[in-house]
Amino acid sequence: MFKLFYAPGSCALATHIVLEEIGTPYELMRVDLAGGEQRKPEYLAINPKGRVPALATEQGILNETPALLVFLAQRFPHAKLAPLDDLFALARLQAFNSYLCSTVHVARAHLRRGARWADDEAAIAAMKRKAPQNVLDCFALMEASMFVGPWVMGESYSVADPYLFTITRWLVLDGGNLSAFPAIQNHFERMSQRPAVTRAIEQES
């Protein structure tokens, strides 16, 4: 049985929702980030990066959201969570996930985790000031050029949908306004009502 190492409010929610969509049994393992559990030897043996998510499988432990999402889609093809038979479409899905991971998540991390990239308080405050606009710029680009609709990749729901939902939820929880991004706002509202999404959020709260 899979074990998902997660922290509430983290990007692990994307993988958590996908596990719920698939309906495969798994165990939730909460990591206490505020208490520093991710830096203790026990957790570093699970994920040397000291981050969540990590997914323990029967073959070993995996991490990094884009890798976990496509792994689960490939492992459970009946769930139809990625265009596994269309290499070009799969590459577009991977590109979307990669943008979320390396640009949108990173843009938002400068709001709260600036200490990763600078040591002095004024610099961390400067990053915090700029982060909200950077995140909005990412959403504007996704709305205009990347989001196909009604789902991220078009007619078919895929693992990119829980991932976009997870990061859109950060924007909402941070007090951001989605009204400039009507397609993504509509996506967020539809995602919020999916049973797999409500179950995952309830389990994390």
Residues making contact with a second copy (CB under 8 A): 48-49, 57, 59-60, 62-68, 70-71, 74-75, 87-88, 90-92, 94-95, 98-99, 101-103, 105-107, 110, 116-120, 122-123, 126-127, 129-131, 134, 141, 144-146
Smallest separation (angstroms) from a second copy to the CB of 39: 13
Smallest separation (angstroms) from a second copy to the CB of 173: 21
Is 55 in a helix, a strand, or coil? strand
Contact 131/125 with Cβ under 8 angstroms?
no
In the bound state with a second copy, the residue whose beta carbon lies nearer, of 145 and 205, is 145
Smallest separation (angstroms) from a second copy to the CB of 4: 14
Contact 196/21 with Cβ under 8 angstroms?
yes
In the bound state with a second copy, the residue whose beta carbon lies nearer, of 57 and 192, is 57
Alpha-carbon separation of residue 109 from 64, 128, 173 (angstroms):
16, 9, 14
Contact 15/72 with Cβ under 8 angstroms?
yes
Smallest separation (angstroms) from a second copy to the CB of 193: 30
Phi, psi of 165 (to 5 degrees): -55, -45
CA separation for the pair 157, 174 (Å, rounded): 26
- Sort strands 54-57 and 60-63 into parallel, antiparallel or unpaired: antiparallel
In the bound state with a second copy, the residue whose beta carbon lies nearer, of 48 and 182, is 48
In the bound state with a second copy, the residue whose beta carbon lies nearer, of 62 and 201, is 62
Smallest separation (angstroms) from a second copy to the CB of 129: 8
